A = this chain, B = another copy of it.
Amino acid sequence: MEKLKKYISLKDEDQFYHQGAVELLVFNFLLILTILTIWLFKNHQFRFLHETGGAMLYGLVMGLIIRYATKASDVESGTVYECEKLNSGPSTLLINITNQVYEYQYKREISHHNVNGHQGNAMLQKMTFDPSIFFNILLPPIIFHAGYSLKKRHFFRNLGSILTYAFLGTAISCIVIGLIMYGFVKAMAHIGQLKQWEFHFTDCLFFGSLMSATDPVTVLAIFHNLRVDTDLYTLLFGESVLNDAVAIVLTHSISIYSPKENPNAFDAAAFFQSVGNFLAIFAGSFAMGSSYAVVTALISFMHLTKFTKLCEFPMLETGLFFLLSWSAFLSAEAAGLTGIVAVLFCGVTQAHYTYNNLSSDSKMRTKQLFEFMNFLAENVIFCYMGLALFTFQNHIFNPLFIFGAFVAVFVARACNIYPLSFLLNLGRKQKIPWNFQHMMMFSGLRGAIAFALAIRDTESQPRQMMFTTALLIVFFTVWVLGGGTTAMLTWLQVRVGTDPDEDLKADAERQSASNLDKNTTKAESAWLFRMWYGFDHKYLKPILTHSGPPLTATLPEWCNPVARLLTSPRAYGDELKDGDTDYIINNDELTENHESSAHIPVSAQESTGSTQATAKEDIHEGDLGLGEYKLQLQHPAGQPQKNSLA
């Protein structure tokens, strides 16, 4: 008899597995549908809906179906049981129910006002997955891929501007949104539109910081397809990548800002502690991420006597690369830092150093692996966003608040881009033109990070309202702004695309002109950039990779014994004293050219003449292998040829 009972309970357990399978199947189905739709769109050169927008749309429809087609089943789950013996919630709870012990695992704390939301539909509950999944599973590959596929040359050339937008811009955006929302909230409370919740200035700042994370994935995909001006692309891409990191750390710092007495009064000590927290977490995460990448570079670079190098075993190499990069994330999390930030800088450093040491097989494997993980994770998140609009059970729609948020986000973006561009143009040789500024203003889409930050804490009512609002802003920006990108590009007369033949010619021209250009390039590059590049080229690259001059040439003479120890026999023999930057740039590009010509398949539509150039672009920007299309937009003639350099 007891045996029989056990089998029944075994079946119950199986039931649990099966339900998990059904939920995953729903997601799989949505993703398959998304892929098929994208295929359809690609065929019709339909550019208004990016795959992420499509995923969101399908998620929305599926959410609607789940919401209204399934009925409440698990009535008992809304009941709260009393347990006076306990003082705090243990991580595991053993409960004796009718003489059978069950193990329960701690999930979360619930505010009293949310208990009602738990009554009802079990399916909805199942489809709402743990916010930590976003931060621990879905975001890391996306962010790593962003760092790993960074266009190094243009990124470093625009480093100063990117850093300004990312740090100063995000801070401005956060404060402006915070102030505007605080005004709105006060006004709403005044006219009685807001219930008497505690809505402090820090809450508004929290909202400001999470809404400051831009995610122009749709815009960037279109930019890539249309081959929009590379400087604009880099500015936007660099800003969005770094700004995610800044926004995440900023949100964290604000959430642990706790003034001692009156939460509305300004507490200087607490404020400076928050600033200190921000700097410490950011710097710590940066150090954690890049040091793991440096370790990877060193291991993949090692050449001990009697040892075949690791690059002889591509699978081990790829495995190590993957595990060490993931460890950067986990170590940062374990140390109380921000894993996402660590993994971003890990990606950048891996691309800069380790990538050069990898075997050509591993280069391809790692690129493709992270490209694929990025593709899947991105679509899952956008799918889930669509779902969440209907399956999340504690939405608070407040039209006035939402209206205020839209205004605030718009104004904050303007306060970020235009003043900073003005300031940057004072220092830049190559100015950021007005149409670029408008385009950057327009490309302030919100996406995965804003959503993930908002869903992380939805306990209190203000936070629920913020979540709902953030979700709607994501929907609006992805569909409306994302869909209008092509039109906006035409309207602003941003230079798009180059004829493949022209591209090749420009390539050749550049080759011959590189000596003449050298001084110009140097003048354009910022002081910071030159400092860094010199140091990097002279010391870091020789230590961590095969490129650059031998250390014996760059280090002072008294360091020679150490230098000889660290110098690879394969290190290049040349000792260019001048034009280092150009040397590196050419060197990098040669590597990539070599690599891409070895294994990147070229889509059939391309004319054979442009093969090389296209393949290089492909591996560079993580095109997701979606192929290339003929350009539909005309570009205004007479712009400097320079902008077309890849």
Contacts and interface: CB of A to CB of B under 8 A. Distances in A.
Interface in A126-185: 132, 135-136
Given A79-B94, A101-B109, A323-B31, A360 B315 contact: no
Interface string A267-309: 0000000000000000000000000000000010000001110
Given A18-B336, A258-B4, A327-B32, A90 B76 contact: yes
A96 B88 CA distance: 10
A102 B89 contact: yes
Interface string A86-108: 11111111111110111111111
Nearest to A83: B95
A35 B319 CA distance: 8
Given A94-B79, A95-B80, A256 B334 contact: no
A25 B327 contact: yes
A491 interface: no
B97 A108 contact: no
B109 A93 contact: no
Given A136-B17, A313-B39, A604-B312, A77 B90 contact: yes
B361 A330 contact: no
Contact of A306 (B43, B336, B604): B43
Interface in A515-538: none
A596 B116 CA distance: 60
Contact of A118 (B94, B307, B326): B94
B77 A101 contact: no
Nearest to A457: B10
Contact of A106 (B81, B102, B318): B102
A502 interface: no
Nearest to A302: B39
Interface string A358-369: 011100110011
A409 interface: no
Interface in A1-30: 3-4, 6-7, 9-11, 13-14, 16-18, 20-22, 24-25, 28-29
A198 interface: yes
A339 B604 CA distance: 38
A35 B320 contact: yes
A236 interface: no
Interface string A579-598: 00000000000000000001
A315 B625 contact: yes
B109 A3 contact: no
B110 A101 contact: yes
A135 B13 CA distance: 13
A115 interface: yes
A136 B32 CA distance: 20
Given A79-B94, A81-B96, 13 more contacts: A21-B331, A24-B330, A29-B327, A36-B299, A82-B95, A83-B95, A89-B100, A102-B110, A103-B118, A319-B372, A322-B372, A368-B369, A369-B372
Interface of A: 3-4, 6-7, 9-11, 13-14, 16-18, 20-22, 24-25, 28-29, 31-32, 35-36, 38-39, 42-43, 74, 76-83, 85-98, 100-112, 115, 118, 122, 125, 132, 135-136, 198, 255-256, 258, 263, 299, 306-308, 310, 312-316, 318-320, 322-324, 326-327, 330-331, 333-334, 336, 339, 359-361, 364-365, 368-369, 371-372, 375-376, 457, 459-460, 598-599, 601, 603-605, 624-627
